Structure 1
Amino acid sequence: MNISNQTVLITGGGSGIGLAIAKTLTATGNRVILVGRNEAKLRKAAEQVPGAAIITADVNSAADVNRLVQQVQAQFGDLSVLINNAGQASAYQLVAGANAFEKASAEMNTNYLALIRLTELLLPVLSAQPTAAIINVTSIVAYVPSVGGPTYSASKAAVHSYTQSLRHTLKATNIRVFELLPPLVDTEFSAEIGGANGIPPQQVADELLAGLAHDDDEIRVGQTAQVYELERASRADAFALVNS
C-alpha cells in the first residue's frame, strides 16, 4: 500500500517517531494532522511539517477524544489513515515497592485502551474512504518482554494481539491494518530506558514507508526483525537479546 495524497492523523505527533513519520509523509504528498496533549509542542512540530494541522487532545480523556473526533468529522472528513503512536512508558523492575499497579494502569490506559477507543470512533470516517489504513505503533517488546519495562511490554503485547484481531475483522473492508514494530529508538520518550543507544526516528519512518509499499502487515524495524526470527526459533535466545 502506497500512501500518497492522503489525509493522515498521527497521535503523539509532536516529537520522536510521530514527528519523523509526519515529515516523511508530508514529503511524499500527504496532508498530516498532528495530535498531542501539549499545544506549544505541537505548534513547534508543525513548523517543521509544511501544511500540517494540529489538534490538541489527550487520548486518555474521553471528552478530548470526542471533541477530536467531532473536529475530524467537521474539518477532515477525507481522513484515510490513522496512526496510533501516542505512548507512555515507565522503566522499572517487578520488585517489592515498585508501584507496578499504578505504572501499569497508566501504560495500559495510554498505550492500549485509549487506542481502542479512538480507533473505534474513527472507523466510520475511515470506512467512508475508497481505501484507508490503520497503523498501530507497538514495539520489539510486543514479541519479547523487557525486564526493565515489564508492564510497558505487556501493554504493547496487548496492542499486538488487538491489531491481529482488528486486521482479521476488517479484512473484507476497505481498511488495511498494519503494525509498526520498532526496536529502541533515540527519542525524548525513550530517554529513561536508554534511548540514546537506539536507532534514529527517521529510520523508523523510512522503514514504515518501505513496509507499506511491500504490504507487510507487521513492519519489523531494525533489530525487531532479528528478534522475531529468534523468537520463532528459540524464545530464550530472543529474550536474552532484548535484555542484553
Structure 2
Amino acid sequence: MNISGNTVFIPGATSGIGLALAVELQARGNTVIVGGRRVGLLEQIAAEHPAIDTVQIDTTDGASITSAAKEVLAKHPDLNVVVAMAGIMRIEDWHRPASFLASAEEVITTNVLGPIRLIAAFIEHLQAQPDATVVTVSSGLAFAPLKVTPSYNASKAAIHMLSESIRLQLADTTVKIVELEPPAVRTSLLPGQENSEFAMPLDEFVAEVVALLESQPAAKEIQVERVKFLRYGEARGDYDHVVEVLNASDPHGR
C-alpha cells in the first residue's frame, strides 16, 4: 500500500486507532472518509478535521453497510483503500452462559460479519481500480489467547485466516490484502485500557504503523515490534510462556 495519494474509507474510525490513523493518513496526502454510527461524533470530527469526510455507517447492519457504500462511492468514485477498523472487545465468563452468550454474539457480528459484509460491499469496485488495498484488522490476540476475552480472540483469529484466504483468491486482481495486527493500545476498547501502562501509547502505535506502511509498501502484515511477542510465540517454540506472561501481566492479562 502506498502511503499517499489514496482515497481511503475507514469505518469504525470515530475514536481510538481508527481516528488517529485517519488523521495521520490525511496529513500524508490521502483523501480520507471516516465512518461511524454516532452522528454527534461524526459532526465533531468534521468540525475538528474539515479535510476529512464523514459518513454514517453501522457495520453490524448489512443494510447500513450497503447504503453507506453507495454514498461513499457516489462522492468518491476513485476510492481505492478500505480499512475494516470497526471492532469491539468484551470480557466474558464462560462458566455461566447467561453472562456471555449475548456478548459473544455481538462480538462475532461486529468483528467477523462486519468486515465480511464491508469487503463484499466494496470488492467489485476495488477490483476495477488500478491499485487497491483492503486493510483488515486482527490483533496479537489472534495468535495467543487472553483468557478473559474468548470471543474477541476467536474473532481476530478468524480475521487473520480470512485475510490469508482472500489474499490467495484475489492474487489475480489489483487488490492487495494487508492485515494490521495491533498489540494492546491505549484506547477505550476495554475499560481502563486508555490508561494502562501495559498498553502501547496510541500516538506511538500509529506513528510506527505509518512508518511501516511507508517503508514496506508490499507488506502483507503490519506488525509493530510490541506485537511480535504474541505473533510469533508458536514459531519460536515458546507459546506456553507467551500465554502465561500475557495472562499474568495486568488485571485483564494484557
Shorter-chain TM-score range = over 0.9
Q: Is the 8 A contact 2:8 2:32 kept in 1?
A: yes
Q: Is the 8 A contact 1:167 1:176 kept in 2?
A: yes
Instruction: Judge which range, 52-61 or 93-102, deviates more.
Output: 93-102
Deviations 1:170-208 (CA, angstroms, capped at 9, x unpaired) = 12211111111111111122325x442211222232222
Aligned residue for 1:35, secondary structure, equals strand
Give the distance between the partners of 2:21 and 2:159, measured in 1 at CA. Answer: 20
Deviations 1:38-87 (CA, angstroms, capped at 9, x unpaired) = 01112222334341110011111122111111112211111110000101
Query: Mapping of 1:90-109 within 5 angstroms?
Result: 90-97=90-97, 99-109=99-109
Deviations 1:82-121 (CA, angstroms, capped at 9, x unpaired) = 0001011111332225622211110000000111011011
Aligned residue for 2:203, secondary structure, equals helix
1:238 to 219, 235, 242: 242
Give the distance between the partners of 2:79 and 2:121, measured in 1 at CA. Answer: 13
In structure 2, the residue matched to 1:190 is 190
Give the distance between the partners of 2:162 and 2:47, measured in 1 at CA. Answer: 34
Give the distance between the partners of 1:210 and 1:203, measured in 2 at CA. Answer: 11
TM-score calculated relative to the size of structure 2: 0.90
Relative to structure 1, is the Cα distance of residues 108 and 216 closer, same or farther in structure 2, using a 3 angstrom cutoff?
same
Say whether residues 1:75 and 2:75 are aligned partners: yes
Aligned residue for 2:93, secondary structure, equals coil
In structure 2, the residue matched to 1:15 is 15
Aligned residue for 1:170, secondary structure, equals helix
Report the residue type matching 1:78 in the other structure.
Answer: D
Say whether residues 1:221 and 2:230 are aligned partners: no
In structure 1, the residue matched to 2:206 is 205
Give the distance between the partners of 2:205 and 2:119, measured in 1 at CA. Answer: 22
Q: CA RMSD, aligned part only? A: 1.6
Query: Mapping of 1:40-59 within 5 angstroms?
Result: 40-59=40-59
Aligned residue for 2:10, secondary structure, equals strand
Shift of 1:125: 1.6
Gaps of 5+ in 1: none
Aligned length: 243
Q: Is the 8 A contact 2:7 2:32 kept in 1?
A: yes
Q: Is the 8 A contact 2:55 2:72 kept in 1?
A: no
Give the distance between the partners of 1:46 and 1:16, measured in 2 at CA. Answer: 16
Q: Percent identity?
A: 33
Relative to structure 1, is the Cα distance of residues 93 and 195 closer, same or farther in structure 2, using a 3 angstrom cutoff?
farther
